[in-house]
Amino acid sequence: MWISLRSLITHDSFEYLDEDEVTTSGLTDGAADEQNRVIFVNRPQPQKFVSNRISTAKYSLPSFVPLFLFEQFRRYSNCFFLLIALLQQIPDVSPTGRWTTLTPLILILTVSAIKEIVEDFKRHRADDETNRRKVEVMRDGRWLSLRWEKLQVGDICKVLNNQFFPADLVMLASSEPQGISFIETSNLDGETNLKIRQANSETAPLDNVAALAEFRATVQCEPPNRHLYEFNGMLKETNAKTIPLGLEQMLLRGSMLRNTAWVIALVVYTGHETKLMKNSTKAPLKRSSIDRQTNTQILMLFIILLVLSLLSAVFNELWIQQRKHTDWYIGLSDAQNTNFIFNFLTFLILYNNLIPISLQVTAEIVRFFQAKFIAMDSEMYHAETDTPALARTSNLNEELGMVRYVFSDKTGTLTCNVMEFRKCSIAEVIYNKPGHNERLEDTLLYQNLDNNHPNAAVISEFLTMLAVCHTVIPELVDGAINYHAASPGNDCLPPTLTVPHMLAVCHTVIPELVDGAINYHAASLDERALVAGAAAWGWVFAARTPQAVTVRARGHTLTYSVLHVLAFTSSRKRMSVVVRAPTGEIKLYCKGADSVIYPRLAGGPRAAAFAEATLAHLEHFADEGLRTLVFAVADIPEHFYKDWSNTYHKASIAIHDREQKLEEAALLIENNLRLLGATAIEDKLQDGVPEAVAALLQANIHVWVLTGDKQETAINIAHSARLLHAAMPLLVLNEDSLDATRESLSRHLADFGENLCKENEVALVIDGQTLKYAMGCDLKKDFLDLCVSCKVVVCCRVSPIQKAEVVEMVSRATGAVTLAIGDGANDVAMIQRASVGVGISGVEGLQAVCASDYSIAQFRFLVRLLLVHGAWNYSRISKLILYSFYKNICLYVIELWFAIYSAWSGQILFERWTIGFYNVIFTALPPFAIGLFDKICSPEIMLRHPVLYIPSQQNLLFNVRVFWVWAVNALLHSMLLFWLPVLLTQHHVLWPHGKDGGYLVLGNFVYTFVVATVCLKAGLATHSWTWVTHVSIWGSIALWFLFILVYSNLYPTILIGAVMRGMDRMVFSSLVFWFGLLLVPAATLLPDLVVTVIHNSAFKTMTEAVRESEIKKRDPAALLAQPRHSVFPSWTYLKCYVRGITTFMCATDARHAVARLAQSSRRRRACCRTCAACSGAAPPPGSTWSSSCRMGSRSRKRRAPACRRPTSSARTTRAGRAAPERARVCPRAARARLACGRRHATQLTAPLQRKIGLLTLQTDKLHELLKRSFISFYL
C-alpha cells in the first residue's frame, strides 16, 4: 500500500514528497510477530529462556579431553604422527620400537595441553568472579540480593551507582528527574564518555516497591542479536496505550551506571543472548602465506615418503627373491602375501621423521615470544596515552614482513582526531573563529549583527542551530553543574558536524561547569569543536532537559523545546532535530554532508546563488584540508507537524525494521530546506606521519587511503602526508553513471598503454559513487588494472562496506599480503578482510583494536612494526622452518642409505630412543635461537634504509626454490654423514685391540657427527651471534655427549637401553671417532662454506652488502646510493665470466686470449656499469643523445642515452661503397666505458694470466679439439 502526506496536508509554500518516494512497508508492522520475544512482567514466563550464567572458557572438565584432542588433530601433521604411532603398535612391523613416535607426540601434546589449561583456568576464574556478583532483584514484593547467575528474563532489578549491569535491561525508572541516567560503555566500544539513557515518561513513576509490585505489563521486543546500537520493542500495560522502547531505554550488560544513585530495569536478554556475548565471537581465522607454503611442502614430502617406502619395499622384495635360494643360510623363507605390505609399513615408519614432529610446537612457541617482543618494544610505546604496542595474535608475525599494500583510514589514523573549529561560511561570507585575545565586538561577524546587516537574521539562526541541535542533558553534582557527553541514539555521529547559532543547538554535547567555565564533553569530537566555536561567538549552550535546550546568547536566555531527534545513521549521513522556538514556531534544523543536504534545498534564484557561493567556500575549505559540514533549516507548519508526528510515532513503535521505517518517515519532513551556511574544522596530522609514509613508499609498499571525507580534503591530507607530490599526475574519477564510469576507465587504461599493470608515478582519486560502479562485476577487472598501475590510490566518500570490498578485491586478485589500519568502528570490516589488521587505540573507542591482529597507538609506529619486527620475524620464521626440515632430512635420510647398505632389511642404524629425542632434545635449541634472536641488521639500519624490507616483501627467503635447495643440501649432507664414517670404519680397525664394533657403534658415530653438523649448520645460517646462539649450538652438542654418558650406564639399574650399555666407553676410546668428529662435519660443511664465501664475494645481495658494511662500521648509505647493478651482480655477470673463461680455454695464444677476454668483458661491462652518458650527464654542445648504450638490469634492459655528434662526410667501405652514416660516440662516454672494461678485464684476467703459462695449447690437434668442443657449443 502506498502513502502520501500530500492528501493529508495542504500548504501552498511547503513542498512534500511524492507518493512514489516512500511506502508504508517501513511504517507498519510486518507479519513476523511470532519471531518476537514476549516477556510478561510480574507473571510467570510461558517459555524458558537461557540462564544468565556466562562462560567464556574454551573447555569444561568433562569436555576438555575430547575438545582438546579434536583441536590438536585437526592439524595434518599430528594426524600423520598419530598414524605412525598406531602402526608402530603392530607386532613385527616397527623397526624403531613401539614408543619412539608416540612418546614425543605425547610430550608435544602435553606441552600444548598445559598451555591450554593455564589459559582456560584464567577464563574460568574470571567467569566465576562475574557470575557471583550480587544484584537486587524484586521477588514477592521485596528486594532480594541474588547472584547474577540466578537472574531470569522478566525479573525487575535495581542497579546502584558504579555497578555493572548484570544483563540486557530495559530501563523503567531512575533516581534522577524525568527518569534520566548516565552510563559508561567503555567495555563495549572503548568510549569513556558518558551516555544518556532515559526511562519512558509512562514508567518513570515506578520508583517504589508498592508501584512495582502492582505493575503488570507485556513487553514485546526483537529476538537477541549482536547490534549494540539497535533495539526495538514496545511495552503495553493492561488497558493502556502501547509505549515504544528503543535504544534510549536500553542498558547493556558490560556497561556501568555512573553519576546516578540507582535505576530500576526489566531483564530482557540474559547470559549468552546478551549483546555483549553475541559480540564475543572470534575474529576470522587468518593464516600466514608461509604456513600455507609449509603445508604444501609437507604434502610433497609425504608423497616422497610414500614413494620411498614403496620403492624400498619393492627392492626388499626383489632382493629376497634373488637371494632366497643362494643365500639359504640367512634363513630366508618364501615370501608371504602380507610381507610386502608389512615391509611397506616398516619403511613408512622408518622414514616418517622426514616430516619434523616438533615443527608446529616450536613455531608456536617462537611466535608467542615474538609477539611479546613486539609488546615490549619501548620504541612503540606511546607515553602520552600509556599505550604499548600489542600483538593480539601471533600467527601472523612473519606476514608483517611481506606486506605489499597498506590500506589506511584518514581520520584518527593519519590525523590526530583532535578537532578545532577554524571558520564558517554564513550567507556567502567567510568568518574566522575569534582569536584568544580578540574581542567579539571587533569580529566581522559581530559587526554584521550589530549594523543591521541584511543577513543578520541568517547569522543569528545559524549560531542558534549550533547551540540547539543536540541531545545533551546536564547533571548536578555537589552543587555544581556537570555535563557529560551523551547521546541516547546512535553514538556514531557524522564524521563532520555543526556551525554557530545552529552550532549551539544541533549536537550531542554535554557541558561541564568547572571553576565557573563550561567544559564540553561529546561523543563526537566534531560536535565538541563546533559547540565550542559557537560559544566563542557568544552563543553558549548552557543546559538541557529531556524536553528543552537552553542557550545564552548576547545577554539573553533562550529555551527551545525539543520535539523530535532524527538521529544520524551511516545511510542518512545527516542529523536533524525538530524544535519549537521561543516564538512558538516549529523549526527543523538539519546538518550533514553537502552531498545529502544540497538535494533537499528549496529552489529559487536567490537560494541557488547562495548555494553556489557556499559550495565554492566548501571547496576552498577542503583545499585547506579542513573537514566540512552544511547546515540548513526548515519552517514546519503546525498542522503538517501533527500529521507527521503520528506517522513518526507509528514507525517508532515498530519492532521489525524500525530503523528503515524511521528513516522513511524522516524523508517526509527533511525537505524544502533553507541553507544557512557551512563550517570548517581542522584535524591535524599525527606526529611523524609524513616520514612514516615516505618510509613505507621507499620500502616498495603501496599506500591507499580510504576515507569518508570530501575529495578535496582527502587530496590535501594526502599531500600533507607526502603521499602525493606536486609533480605527480592525478587521475580523478567522479562519474554519475555506470556508462560514464566504463568510458572513463577505458580511456585511462588506453592512456597507460604498455605500462599497464606496472607501477607508474601516477595517483588515482575516486569517490564513493564512482567506486560503486567500478566495483561492479564487469568493471572490477579494469578498475583493478588501473589501480595497480598507479603508485597511490585515494578513495573518498566511501562507506565501511566499500572499504572492506576494496581490500578484499586487491587481496584476492593480486595474491599480495595486504594490511588495513584504522581506529574506528567503521574500519572494523576492512581490518578483518585484510591479510593483517592493525588497530589504532585512538579516541574513537576500541572497536578497531578489538577486531585487529595488532594494535599501536600512532600511525608512525607502523613503520617499526613492519620494517623491523616484520622483516625480522619473516627471516626468523623462514630460517626456523627451513632448518627444521633440513635437520630432519639430514638424519632420517641416513636410514635410506643404511637400507641400501643393509640390503633393504629395514633395520635401523640408530638406537630407538635417540631417534625420538633428536627433535625434542638434541636439536631443539638452535631453532629457538634462530627464531628469536637472529637479526638481518640492527633496527637503526632497518629504519634508516627501508629498501632492506624488499627481500622479505618479495618472499625471497622462503619459497619453493629455496625450500628444495635446503632439502637437496640436506640430502647431500646426509650422504657425506653416512658414507664418510662407513669409509672410515670399513676396515674394522676402531680400537688398538682390533675388535669390531658392529652396526650400533657405527650408528652412534654417525649420530654424533649429525648432531655436530646440524648444530654448526645453524651457526652458518645465523646472521647475528649472541650468547644464546653459542649456548644453543655448543650446548646441544654437549647435551648429546652427556646423554650418551648417562644412557650407556643406566642398564641394568634401570631396565632400558640394554643395547647401549658401555657404548660411551666404546665410542670415546676410538681414535677413529675423534678423527671423524673433526673430519666429517668439516668435510660436510666445507662446500656450504665455500659457496657462502663465493656468494658473499661475487654475488652478494643488497642485504648482505649492508650487513657487511654494518659489521665494518661503515655507513651503507653510499653503497645503497650506487646503481644496483654495479653493486650487486646478477646472472648477466656470470655469463660474462663464463664467456671469458671459455675464450681462454679455446685460444692458442695467451696474449690473444687476454685480449679477447678484455674485449668481451669490456663490451659486456660497458653495458652494465655506469658511464658518463648513462649517468645523466649533459651532452656536449651541438650533440644529441641516442640509444646506442644499453644498461642491463635484472628485470629488463633499459636503453640509456649515448652522445652522438653530427658528421658532415660519409664513410666508405673497403669496396668503395658508401657506408651508412654513423654518428661518433661521445669521447667522454667512450673513455668512461673503456676504463670500466679495462678495469674489469684486468681484475678478471690477472689470476688467469698467471696460470696460462701452465697450459700448452700450441698444438693444432688440441686447438681443433677445444675449438669444436667449447667454441662451437657455446656459440
Catalytic site positions: 409
Contact 949, 869 (CB under 8 A): no
Bridge partners of 628, per DSSP, are 680
State the Cα–Cα distance between residues 26 and 31, nearest whole angstrom.
13
- Between the alpha carbon of residue 473 and those of residues 258, 362, 1148, the distances in Å are 14, 57, 102
| Sheet of 836-840, strand order | 390-391, 854-856, 836-840, 817-822, 403-408, 702-706, 790-796, 760-767, 730-733
Place of cell 515498530: 654
Bridge partners of 420, per DSSP, are 682
Of the candidates 776, 772, 766, the residue with the CA atom closest to the CA atom of residue 802: 772
Q: How many of the other CB atoms lie within 10 Å of CB of 309?
A: 20
The helix or strand, by DSSP H or E, that contains position 1108, with its residue range, turns out to be helix 1102-1111
C-alpha cell at 48: 524458558
Place of cell 654494518: 1110
C-alpha cell at 648: 513518526
C-alpha cell at 892: 632420517
The helix or strand, by DSSP H or E, that contains position 849, with its residue range, turns out to be helix 847-851
Of the candidates 680, 598, 710, the residue with the CA atom closest to the CA atom of residue 425: 680
Give the rounded distance of the alpha carbon of 508 from its chain centre: 33
Of the candidates 538, 459, 551, the residue with the CA atom closest to the CA atom of residue 505: 551
State the Cα–Cα distance between residues 931 and 369, nearest whole angstrom.
9
Is 646 buried (19+), middle (13-18) or exposed (0-12) by CB count in 10 A? exposed
Helix axes 871-892, 894-901, angle to 10 degrees: 10
Contact partners, residue 379, CB within 8 Å, separation at least 6: 861, 864, 939
Contact partners, residue 1239, CB within 8 Å, separation at least 6: none
- Between the alpha carbon of residue 102 and those of residues 79, 80, 362, 655, 1052, the distances in Å are 12, 11, 18, 59, 24
State the Cα–Cα distance between residues 324 and 339, nearest whole angstrom.
14
Of the candidates 172, 194, 173, the residue with the CA atom closest to the CA atom of residue 255: 194
- Written as one letter, the residue type at 407 is F
Contact 593, 496 (CB under 8 A): yes
Place of cell 554535547: 509
- Written as one letter, the residue type at 316 is N
State the Cα–Cα distance between residues 441 and 536, nearest whole angstrom.
12
Radius of gyration of the chain from Cα atoms?
A: 40
